[in-house]
Each structure stands twice: as C-alpha cells, then as structure tokens.
C-alpha cells in the first residue's frame, strides 16, 4: 500500500513538473506575441494621432479668413493654441516646423504650417533666380552658382545638350552607380541630391528655402529677405518690404503686421509706408509682370507628431496639402 502511495506521489510530482514546464513554455511563446500586439496597438494609436493633426491642419487652412492673400499671422501659421500638444483620447498631437536655418532646439520650433510659396521653385525658376539663390543661400562662388543653375536646368529640360557648366546624361552615365538625367521636373526636393555638384552640406543649407510645388510665384507676405533678394530685389528694397510687413513693433508674425492684399498694388501700398524711388517701383512692377511675385499661397507643408501620454514613442506624418485642389500632394509616415 505504501509503495502504491509513493508511486502516486511521484507521478503527481512529475505531472506538476511537466505542467510547470508547459506553463513556462506557453508563457515564453505567448509573452513576445502579447508584447508585439501591445506595441502594434500603441503604434497604431500614435499614427492616428498624427493623422488627426493633419486633419486639424487642413481645417485651419480652410478656415482662413483672408482667402485672397496669405500672411504669417493667418490661423495656419505659428498658432500654438491650434497646434501645440492638442489632447485627443489618451494622447496628443502637435503640428510644428523649424524656421529656415534655425538651430534644431525646442525653443526655436514654431507651431503651424509652412506655405511652399515662400520658397524658390526648383521647377519654375529661371537661371538668374537660381544663380542668385545658390550664391546667397548655398554660400557658393558666383561661378559655382552659375554651374549649379545650368545643371538644374539641364535636369529639367527635355534635350540632352548640356549647358555651359551643366550636366546631361553624358556626365551622369560616368558615375558609379550610373543613372540617367531625368529631363523632367523635380518631383521631390531630395532629387536635388542627384544633381552635379550638390553635396549633402549644400543641400542642408538650401532645402528649407526650395520647393517643387506651386506655379513659381513667391508670396511677398511670407518669403524671407534672402528669398526676396534671390528674385532680383536689391538688399535695400527687400529690407523695405520686411519693414512694412513687420509693422510698428518691428517683429515678424505679430498682430500688428502689415500685408500686401493684391499684387497690382504692391508698389503703391509699400510707397505709402516707406518712400520708394522710381527705380524701385519699376523693379517691383517688373517682378509682378514676370509672375515672380504673388500674395497668395496654395501649398502648405506640415509635420504632425502623434504621441501617447504614457509612452515615449512618436509617430510623424510629413505632408503637403494643396488648398485649391484639396489634394494631399505628398505624404510620408514614420
């Protein structure tokens, strides 16, 4: 009898051992899957929060009170109340950007969107604008800036004949790896890195003031002084435009800012604020006639960050929205 009881006890102990091992094995198998499911759930939530920021941005653009012209004090621009740490469910989103050439520090970020019309258009700008821009923004010599302009125009045009200092398929076919000259418009800004002479250093200097969206007109109400000078305005006239825009307090994007409400009256409006010479009036009229100046923006870039309150994970959606067509032209989600 005792022998029988001892056998039963041993069997029970072995059963408990095997059940314990089975439990550990099941836990080892299930735990990573539960962790994965949890991570995927958090990731999905952060991405939906970032997408909510995109929807908020498009709503602010549609609610713009000045449809015929756009300025840096519009609701879509530099608006912390609308775009900073907006709570939604168990997380929040922010839509923010770093102004051109500003150090990447938290205090330098602005909350809102960037209109693409404040930038130089890679697809529409002529040689003189490109030369001036790369000389100023890229810190290039005059000759290097001329060569850069030629290379960009060769990339855009349909022929295979290289302009002086430029590059066509004969140059790009000698590279390793080799690739074709596009002979078409730039589709994304990073395509500029394929152009002869463009280094990562140069790209980082110029990228915040270049665009591939829009019809080429630069918004005189939102462009900075360097961009205005790149269009051909001399430094003094560009300074007068900035003085007018900044208003009495001399600061950008504050409530007392002034705005040009239509392109035809830019010289007259500016002349009432600061005296213009006849040559300066002629200079502005020439830019207006060439289509290089506008007062309205239709393409807006945003970076929407989604985050859960109890985690460090962040989702980022970078997008470009066209107000006229109501189409998202660019979407990158990470």
Tens of pLDDT, residue by residue over 262-290, are: 999 999 999 999 999 999 999 999 998 99
Per-residue model confidence (pLDDT) at position 34:
45
Residue bearing the bigger pLDDT, 5 or 314: 314
CA dihedral 215, 210, 130, 143 (to 10 degrees): -170
Condensed to tens digits (0 to 9), the pLDDT of residues 64-108 reads 888 899 999 999 998 999 999 999 999 999 999 988 877 777 788
Per-residue model confidence (pLDDT) at position 46:
94
pLDDT at 183 over 60: yes
Q: Which 3 state secondary structure label does DSSP give 52?
A: helix
Per-residue model confidence (pLDDT) at position 28:
62
Q: State the Cα–Cα distance between residues 332 and 334, nearest whole angstrom.
A: 7
Residue 238 is encoded by which pair of tokens?
Answer: 């560009």
**CA separation (Å) from 47 to 53, 81, 86, 327, 333?**
10, 21, 14, 20, 8
Per-residue model confidence (pLDDT) at position 145:
98
Please give the CATH superfamily to which domain 123-206 belongs.
EpsJ-like (1.10.40.60)
Contact 95, 319 (CB under 8 A): no
Q: Return the beta strands (E) in the chain as ranges.
A: 86-88, 91-97, 110-111, 114-115, 120-121, 210-211, 218-219, 293-294, 299-308, 314-322, 327-333
Mean pLDDT, to the nearest integer, of 254-261?
Answer: 95
Contact 261, 295 (CB under 8 A): yes
Per-residue model confidence (pLDDT) at position 47:
95
Per-residue model confidence (pLDDT) at position 312:
77
Percent of the chain at pLDDT > 90 equals 78
Say which range, 186-200, 217-231, 301-315, has the weakest mean pLDDT: 301-315
At CB < 8 A and 24+ separation, what contacts does 59-68 make? Answer: 60/112, 60/113, 61/113, 61/300, 61/321, 61/323, 62/323, 66/259, 66/261, 68/261, 68/262, 68/295, 68/296
Per-residue confidence band for 165, with pLDDT thresholds at 50, 70 and 90: very high
pTM of the model: 0.87
Per-residue model confidence (pLDDT) at position 42:
87
Per-residue model confidence (pLDDT) at position 31:
61
pLDDT at 243 over 50: yes
Terminal CA-CA length for the chain:
70
């Amino acid at each position: 009898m005792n022998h029988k009881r001892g056998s039963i006890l041993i069997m029970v102990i072995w059963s408990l051992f095997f059940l314990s091992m089975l439990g550990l094995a099941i836990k080892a198998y299930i735990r990573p899957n539960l962790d994965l499911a949890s991570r995927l759930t958090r990731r999905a939530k952060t991405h939906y929060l970032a997408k909510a920021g995109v929807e908020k941005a498009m709503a602010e653009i549609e609610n713009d009170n000045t449809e015929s012209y756009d300025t840096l004090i519009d609701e879509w621009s530099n608006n912390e109340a609308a775009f900073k740490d907006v709570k939604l469910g168990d997380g929040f989103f922010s839509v923010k950007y770093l102004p051109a050439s500003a150090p990447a520090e938290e205090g330098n970020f602005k909350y809102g969107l960037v209109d693409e019309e404040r930038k130089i258009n890679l697809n529409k700008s002529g040689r003189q604008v490109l030369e001036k821009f790369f000389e100023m923004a890229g810190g290039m010599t005059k000759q290097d800036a001329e060569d850069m302009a030629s290379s960009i125009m060769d990339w855009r045009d349909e022929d295979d004949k290289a302009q002086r200092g430029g590059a066509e398929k004969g140059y790009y076919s000698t590279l390793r790896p080799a690739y074709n000259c596009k002979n078409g418009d730039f589709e994304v800004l990073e395509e500029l890195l394929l152009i002869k002479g463009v280094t990562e250093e140069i790209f980082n200097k110029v990228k915040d003031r270049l665009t591939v969206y829009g019809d080429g007109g630069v918004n005189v109400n939102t462009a900075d002084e360097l961009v205005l000078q790149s269009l051909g305005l001399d430094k003094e006239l560009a300074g007068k435009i900035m003085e007018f825009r900044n208003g009495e307090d001399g600061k950008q994007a504050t409530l007392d800012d002034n705005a040009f409400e239509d392109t035809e009256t830019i010289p007259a409006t500016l002349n009432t604020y600061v005296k213009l010479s006849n040559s300066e009036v002629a200079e502005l009229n020439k830019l207006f006639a060439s289509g290089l100046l506008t007062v309205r923006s239709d393409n807006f870039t945003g970076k929407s960050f989604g985050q859960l309150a109890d985690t460090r994970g962040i989702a980022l959606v970078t997008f470009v929205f066209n107000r006229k067509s109501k189409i998202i032209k660019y979407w990158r989600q990470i």
